[in-house]
Chains A and B, each alone.
Chain A
Amino acid sequence: MAKAAESSGDPGTTSPRPLFAGLSDISISQDIPVEGEITIPMRSHIREFDSSTLNESVQNTIMRDLKAVGKKFMHVLYPRKSNTLLRDWDLWGPLILCVTLALMLQRSSIDSEKDGGPQFAEVFVIVWFGAVTITLNSKLLGGNISFFQSLCVLGYCILPLTVAMLVCRLVLLAEPGPINFMVRLFVVIVMFAWSIVASTAFLADSQPPNRKALAIYPVFLFYFVISWMILTFTPQ
Chain B
Amino acid sequence: MAAVDDLQFEEFGDAATSAANPGTTTIHIEGPSESPTHQPGLPRGSGGEEDDELLGNDDSDKTELLAGQKKSSPFWTFEYYQTFFDVDTYQVFDRIKGSLLPIPGKNFVRLYIRSNPDLYGPFWICATLVFAIAISGNLSNFLIHLGEKTYHYVPEFRKVSIAATIIYAYAWLVPLALWGFLMWRNSKVMNIVSYSFLEIVCVYGYSLFIYIPTAVLWIIPQKAVRWILVMIALGISGSVLAMTFWPAVREDNRRIALATIGTIVLLHTLLSVGCLAYFFDAPEMDHLPTTTVAPNQTVATAK
Q: Is the CB of A211 within 8 A of B157?
A: no
CB-defined contacts of B88 to chain A, threshold 8 Å: 210-211, 214
Q: Is the CB of B128 within 8 A of A212?
A: no
Q: Is the CB of A141 within 8 A of B155?
A: no
CB-defined contacts of A228 to chain B, threshold 8 Å: 131, 135
Asked if A218 lies at the interface with its beta carbon under 8 angstroms from chain B, I say yes
CB-defined contacts of A48 to chain B, threshold 8 Å: none
> What is the chain B residue whose CB lies nearest that of A212?
B89
A14 to B2 CA separation, bound complex (whole angstroms): 11
Do A213 and B28 contact each other (CB < 8 Å), given the known contacts A114-B158, A140-B81, A232-B155?
no
Asked if B92 lies at the interface with its beta carbon under 8 angstroms from chain A, I say yes
A71 to B89 CA separation, bound complex (whole angstroms): 35
Asked if A35 lies at the interface with its beta carbon under 8 angstroms from chain B, I say no
A221 to B154 CA separation, bound complex (whole angstroms): 22
Q: Is the CB of B138 within 8 A of A232?
A: yes
Asked if A31 lies at the interface with its beta carbon under 8 angstroms from chain B, I say no
CB-defined contacts of A229 to chain B, threshold 8 Å: 155, 157
Of the candidates B26, B46, B120, B138, the one whose C-beta lies within 8 Å of that of A141 is: B120
A118 to B153 CA separation, bound complex (whole angstroms): 14
Q: Is the CB of B127 within 8 A of A221?
A: yes
A229 to B84 CA separation, bound complex (whole angstroms): 32
Asked if A234 lies at the interface with its beta carbon under 8 angstroms from chain B, I say yes
Number of A-B contacts (CB under 8 A): 72
Q: Is the CB of A234 within 8 A of B92?
A: no
- Interface size range on A against B: 20 to 34
Q: Is the CB of A221 within 8 A of B157?
A: no
Of the candidates A115, A218, A232, the one whose C-beta lies within 8 Å of that of B158 is: A115
Asked if B87 lies at the interface with its beta carbon under 8 angstroms from chain A, I say yes
Of the candidates B28, B124, B128, B159, the one whose C-beta lies within 8 Å of that of A115 is: B159
A218 to B152 CA separation, bound complex (whole angstroms): 32
CB-defined contacts of A116 to chain B, threshold 8 Å: 154-157
Interface residues in A187-236 by Cβ distance below 8 A to B read: 210-214, 217-218, 221, 224-225, 228-229, 232-234
* Interface positions of B (Cβ within 8 A of A): 6, 26, 28, 46, 78, 81-82, 84-85, 87-90, 92, 120, 124, 127-128, 131, 135, 138, 152-159
Residue pairs across A and B with Cβ atoms less than 8 A apart, 15 shown, are A15-B6, A115-B154, A116-B157, A140-B82, A140-B84, A142-B85, A212-B89, A214-B89, A218-B124, A221-B127, A229-B155, A232-B138, A234-B152, A234-B154, A234-B155
Sorted nearest first, the 3 A-B pairs with minimum C-beta distance are: A140-B85, A232-B155, A115-B156
